Structure 1
Amino acid sequence: MRPWQTLPTHRSWLDAECRRLLGFGRHVVLPGGGAAYLDDDGVPDPSRGVQTWITARTVHVYSLGALLGVPGSAGVAAGALAGLTGGLRDARAGGWYHALSEHGVPDTVAGKSCYDHAFVLLAASSATLAGIPGARELLDEASGVFLDRFWDEEAGRCVDEWDVSWSVVAPYRGLNANMHAVEAMLAVADCLDDDSWRDRAARICAFVVTLAEENESRLPEHFDDGWGPQPDLNRDRPDDPFKPYGATIGHGLEWARLLLQAEAALGERAPSGLASTASLLFDRAVEDGWARDGAPGFVYTTDWAGVPVVRDRMHWVAAEAVGAADALHRRTGEARYADLYARWWDYVVTYLVDVDRGSWRHQLDASNVPADGVWPGKPDLYHAVQATLLPRVPLGPSLARAAHDGLVSA
C-alpha cells in the first residue's frame, strides 16, 4: 500500500482538517487585542485573562492561515498581534509579561520566560512573512530582547526565566523552552535569511544529542544553573502542564522532528548525529509511551525506567507523533514510519477529533475518555494545525517560509 503522505486524497483530507481547525478559533481575538483562552466550544473564557503563549501561538497559526489563503485568517492574526504590541508588552522594562488578568492587569509574579518569548519570536517571524502590519517591528524588538536576555552564548543554550524587572535570572534551566527556542530560531533564520539563528539552534540540538546518548534516549527536562540534571523535580506534581516530573513522551517525539528539520535547514553545518538521535528518541518514546496500558494512545510521562507516571493522553503528543513519523519516513524511507503515521492518524480521528464541538479534545484519561485535569477547554490550535501541515511541506524550511514560497502541497 502506498504511504498515506503520497496520496493526493490524504493531502486533501489534511487541508480540510487544517481549515476546520482554523474555523474553530475564529472568535479568539479579544476586544483589546490578544487571544482568549477558548472553552470546549471555541467560546472565549474571559476569567483566564490573556496569556502571551496562547496569543503568540494564535498569531503564528493564523499567519499560516493567511499565507495559505484561508479567508479571515489575516484579521485574526492581526488582532492577536495587537495584544503582543499592546497590553502584553512591558513598555517600561521591555519584553513580554506572562499574562494579563481578565481586568487587563499584568502578571508581575510569573516573571518573564524564555518559553513565552520563544513563541513571540515564532509569531513575529510568521506574521512578517504573512505581511501582517507591525510584525516586522515586533520581530526586530523580540529578537533583541531574546538575544540580550535569554541566549547564553557561553553555554550555547537559553536561560529559562527572569523576574519581571530583569533584575534576577532564575537558577532553573529547562529543555522545554530550549526546544521551542530551536523552532523559533529556525523560523527567524528563514524569515531574515540569517544563518546566525540557525547556528544557535544547532548548538542546542548538539546538546540534545549528548543528552540522548547519556540517558538512554529519555531526555531530562529540568536542570540547575550549571546544566546539571534535576531528575526528581516536581515528583510531587507529576502532571504539571509545563514542567512535569520524569520523561515527557511528547517531547521525545517533538525533538525527533526538530532534529531532522534542523539537519535539513543546516545542511553541511549540521552537527553530527541528528538523524540517528531522532530515530533513537522516536523509538524510545514509542516503546515507553504508546498503548502501555492496553488502550491506544500515548501516556503523558514516564519515570526514568520507562514506567508510566501520568497515563492521561494529551492531544499535542499525538500531533507530534504524526509529525515525527512523517519526518523519519521521509528521511529514511523506512516503511515502519509510514505505517505508524497512518495508525496514529486513525487514533486522532477516533478519539481526539471533536466533530460536534470543534477542534481536538485536549486531554483524555487512560481509557480515552475526555478529561480536563491538566488542559481544560481547547486553548491551543498550534500542535493540531501544524500536524496537518508538516506532512505537506519539505523538511528544511519553517512552515511559514514553506507557505510563503508556495511549497505546501495540495
Structure 2
Amino acid sequence: MTAWTDRAGHRGWLWDESLRLLEFGRRAVPAGQGAGWLDDDGTVDPDRPVFTWITGRTAHVYALGHLLGVPGCRPVAERAIAALRTSLHDDEHGGWYASIAPDGTLDTTKSAYAHAFVVLAASTGTVAQLDGARALLDDALAVLDARFWEPAAGLSADEWDRTWTTLETYRGVNANMHTVEALLAAGDATGDARWHQRAATIAGHVVAWAGANGWRIPEHFDASWAPQLELNADRPDDPFKPYGATVGHGLEWARLLLTVDAALPGAPDETLVAAAVALYDRAVADGWAVDGAPGFVYTTDWAGAPVVRTRMHWVAAEAIGAAAALHRVTGDERYAGDYSRWWDYASEFLVDHDRGSWHHELDASNVPSADVWPGKPDLYHAFQATLLPLLPLAPGLAVAVRDELG
C-alpha cells in the first residue's frame, strides 16, 4: 500500500490543516506586543503574560507561513520579531526576559529554553528575509554561545538571573533539546556548520544517557550533570520539568537524531539511526494506549509505568513527525502504519474541527481538560506536524520550504 505521505490526497489534507492552523492564530501578535497566550477560540488571553518562548514559536510558524506563500503571515511574524528585538529584550544586560505580565511586570529570568526559541525564530526569519531577523539571529547566537554553552560539558546550562551573575544549579535536557533544534536551524540560515556540529555534540550526550537507562531519557541533572531521577516526584505534571520519563521527548529526540544525522556531512551514522529507533520504540511501548484508551500518556516512572495519564497534544504531534522521519530513513512499513494511526487519533480527539487549532490537553478518557495547558497557547507543535512529513530531514523546515524541496 502506498504510504500516506506519498498520496496526493493526504498531502492536500496536510496543506489544508496547516492553513486552518495559521488562520486560527492570526490574532496572536497585537501591534506593539509579543505573542499572547491563545484561548480556545484563538483570542489572546489578557490575563496571561506575554512569553518569550511563545513569541519565538509564533515568529517561527508565521515566517514559515510566509515562505509557504500564505498571505497575511509576514506581518504576524514581523510583529513577533520586533517584540523580540524590543520589549522582550534586555537592552541593559543583554539576552531576553522570560515574560511580561499584563501589568507590565517583567520576569527577568534568562532561560536557555526561551533563548533557544529566539534563535529558532530569528533563523527562520532570516531565511524568510524578515525585517530585523538577521540582526536578531546574530545577537541571539552570541548570547547562547557566551552565556549558556558549557564547553567542558558539551551541553547548555539552563537558567541565569537578569544580570548574568547567578547561574542556577539545575541542568535540563528539555532546554538542550530545543537548543539542538535551534542550532540546526541556525546552521541552515547562516551556512556555518559549527552550529550543526554543536547540535550533534548535545545529541551524543542524550544518546549515551538514554542508552544506559533503557532508552528512557533522564531529564533532570545537577550542576555537574549527574542525573536527578527523582526530581519533582511531588509535582509530576509540571509543564516543563515533570517527574520521570517524558514520553513525548523520546519521540521528539528520535526525530531530532535523524535530523542531526542528515545535517552532518558524510554517510549516515548508524549509531544515531539505531538510537532513534530505540527511543521511538520505547516511547510507543511505554506511552501508547497503555491504560486501555487510545493516546499517549504524558509521563512514566523509570520502569515504564504511567505516572501522568493526561494526553498532551504535542506528544501526538511529535509522534507523527518521528514516524514520518523513521519511515523515510528506514523504509520500514510499520512506521507508515504508525503514522496513519497517530493522525487518525489526532483527527478524532485532538483537532478541534469546530473552534480551530488542536485541544492542547485531554484527560485519560480523551476529554478536553485544562489542568496543565488551558486554552490553545500556540501552534508550533501542530503546525510542524503538518510540514515535517512532506519535507526532507535536511535542510530544515525553513530552507526546505523556501527551496520547495517537498
Task: Give the alignment's TM-score, normalised by structure 2.
Answer: 0.99
**What is the aligned partner in structure 2 of residue 71 from structure 1?**
71
Residues of 1 paired with 2:363 and 2:33: CA distance?
34
Contact 2:25 / 2:378 at 8 angstroms: preserved in 1? no
Is 1:41 aligned to residue 41 of structure 2? Answer: yes
**What is the aligned partner in structure 2 of residue 153 from structure 1?**
151
Once the two structures are TM-superposed, the CA of residue 104 in structure 1 deviates from its matched residue by 2.4
Residues of 2 paired with 1:212 and 1:303: CA distance?
14
Once the two structures are TM-superposed, the CA of residue 80 in structure 1 deviates from its matched residue by 1.2
**What is the aligned partner in structure 1 of residue 94 from structure 2?**
94
Q: Which amino acid aligns with 1:11?
A: R
Residues of 2 paired with 1:267 and 1:393: CA distance?
19
Once the two structures are TM-superposed, the CA of residue 33 in structure 1 deviates from its matched residue by 2.3
Once the two structures are TM-superposed, the CA of residue 284 in structure 1 deviates from its matched residue by 0.3
Once the two structures are TM-superposed, the CA of residue 17 in structure 1 deviates from its matched residue by 0.3
Contact 1:33 / 1:86 at 8 angstroms: preserved in 2? no
Q: Which amino acid aligns with 1:2?
A: T
Contact 1:322 / 1:341 at 8 angstroms: preserved in 2? yes
Residues 248-275 of structure 1: CA deviation (Å, up to 9, x unaligned) = 0000000000000100111328766110
Q: Which amino acid aligns with 1:52?
A: T
Is 1:105 aligned to residue 138 of structure 2? Answer: no
Contact 1:202 / 1:271 at 8 angstroms: preserved in 2? no
Residues of 2 paired with 1:184 and 1:268: CA distance?
22
Query: Which of 352, 355, 362 is the matching residue for 1:354?
Result: 352
Residues of 2 paired with 1:105 and 1:295: CA distance?
43
**What is the aligned partner in structure 2 of residue 316 from structure 1?**
314
Residues 29-65 of structure 1: CA deviation (Å, up to 9, x unaligned) = 1232210111000011111121000000000000000
Bigger shift: residues 149-158 or 337-346: 149-158
CA 1:374–1:211 in 2, change beyond 3 Å: closer, same or farther? same
Residues of 2 paired with 1:107 and 1:329: CA distance?
42
Once the two structures are TM-superposed, the CA of residue 395 in structure 1 deviates from its matched residue by 1.1
**What is the aligned partner in structure 2 of residue 211 from structure 1?**
209
Q: Which amino acid aligns with 2:226?
A: G
Structure 2's unaligned 5+ residue stretches are: none
Residues 327-360 of structure 1: CA deviation (Å, up to 9, x unaligned) = 0011100010000000110000000000111000
Residues 67-90 of structure 1: CA deviation (Å, up to 9, x unaligned) = 000110001001111210111100
CA 1:50–1:269 in 2, change beyond 3 Å: closer, same or farther? farther
Q: Which amino acid aligns with 1:309?
A: V
CA RMSD of aligned residues (A): 1.0
**What is the aligned partner in structure 2 of residue 57 from structure 1?**
57
Q: Which amino acid aligns with 1:188?
A: A
Contact 2:232 / 2:243 at 8 angstroms: preserved in 1? yes
Once the two structures are TM-superposed, the CA of residue 103 in structure 1 deviates from its matched residue by 2.4
Counterparts of residues 223-242 of structure 1 (less than 5 Å): 223-242=221-240
**What is the aligned partner in structure 1 of residue 4 from structure 2?**
4
Contact 1:209 / 1:273 at 8 angstroms: preserved in 2? no
Residues of 2 paired with 1:393 and 1:333: CA distance?
16
Residues of 2 paired with 1:343 and 1:146: CA distance?
38
Runs of 4+ in 1 over 6 A off after TM superposition: none
Residues of 2 paired with 1:242 and 1:270: CA distance?
32
Residues of 2 paired with 1:314 and 1:95: CA distance?
30
Residues of 2 paired with 1:167 and 1:226: CA distance?
19
Contact 1:217 / 1:280 at 8 angstroms: preserved in 2? yes
**What is the aligned partner in structure 1 of residue 325 from structure 2?**
327
**Secondary structure in 2 aligned to 1:309?**
strand
**Secondary structure in 1 aligned to 2:354?**
coil
Contact 2:4 / 2:340 at 8 angstroms: preserved in 1? yes
**What is the aligned partner in structure 2 of residue 393 from structure 1?**
391
Contact 1:87 / 1:104 at 8 angstroms: preserved in 2? no
CA 1:169–1:271 in 2, change beyond 3 Å: closer, same or farther? farther
Q: Which amino acid aligns with 2:214?
A: E
Once the two structures are TM-superposed, the CA of residue 404 in structure 1 deviates from its matched residue by 1.4
Once the two structures are TM-superposed, the CA of residue 211 in structure 1 deviates from its matched residue by 1.0
Q: Which amino acid aligns with 1:16?
A: D
**What is the aligned partner in structure 2 of residue 256 from structure 1?**
254
Residues 342-401 of structure 1: CA deviation (Å, up to 9, x unaligned) = 011000000000011100000000000000000000012000000000011011111011
Identity of aligned residues (%): 61
Q: Which amino acid aligns with 1:5?
A: T
Contact 1:186 / 1:262 at 8 angstroms: preserved in 2? yes
Residues of 2 paired with 1:49 and 1:330: CA distance?
40
**Secondary structure in 1 aligned to 2:266?**
helix
CA 1:172–1:271 in 2, change beyond 3 Å: closer, same or farther? farther
Residues of 1 paired with 2:31 and 2:18: CA distance?
25
Residues of 2 paired with 1:32 and 1:271: CA distance?
46
CA 1:225–1:272 in 2, change beyond 3 Å: closer, same or farther? farther
Residues 195-246 of structure 1: CA deviation (Å, up to 9, x unaligned) = 1101100101111111121000000000001110000000001000000000
Task: Give the alignment's TM-score, normalised by structure 1.
Answer: 0.98
Contact 2:61 / 2:380 at 8 angstroms: preserved in 1? yes
Residues of 2 paired with 1:38 and 1:338: CA distance?
33
